[in-house]
Amino acid sequence: MTGIVLAVVLSFSVLVTIHVVGSVALTRLRPHWNGAVALVVPPFFPYYAVRRHKAGWAIAWVASALTYVIALGVAVSWR
């Protein structure tokens, strides 16, 4: 059980870190409002990252989001 909780916490912290740092980095690129929108509406982050030619950020965001959803699903269904 401890491993599942650790996976949920670590995957969520990685997701939040990628999201916040990536949104701030997108704010430095033109148009500047893309970063603000991506920060407030999380699903827009991968879209704007790919549009700004930062596909690595988008892949990391999607991978960490999937890891978090899977770990959370396992934790909720654990008996």
Contact 8, 75 (CB under 8 A): yes
Which pLDDT score is estimated for 44? Answer: 96
Task: Return the domain boundaries, the chain.
Answer: 2-77
The predicted-structure confidence for 3-21, as pLDDT tens digits, reads as follows 999 999 999 999 999 999 9
What is the spatial distance between Cα 79 and Cα 76, in angstroms, rounded to a whole number? 8
CA distance 67 to 73: 10
pLDDT confidence bin for 59, thresholds 50/70/90: very high
How many whole angstroms separate alpha carbon 67 and alpha carbon 79? 20
Residue type, 50: V
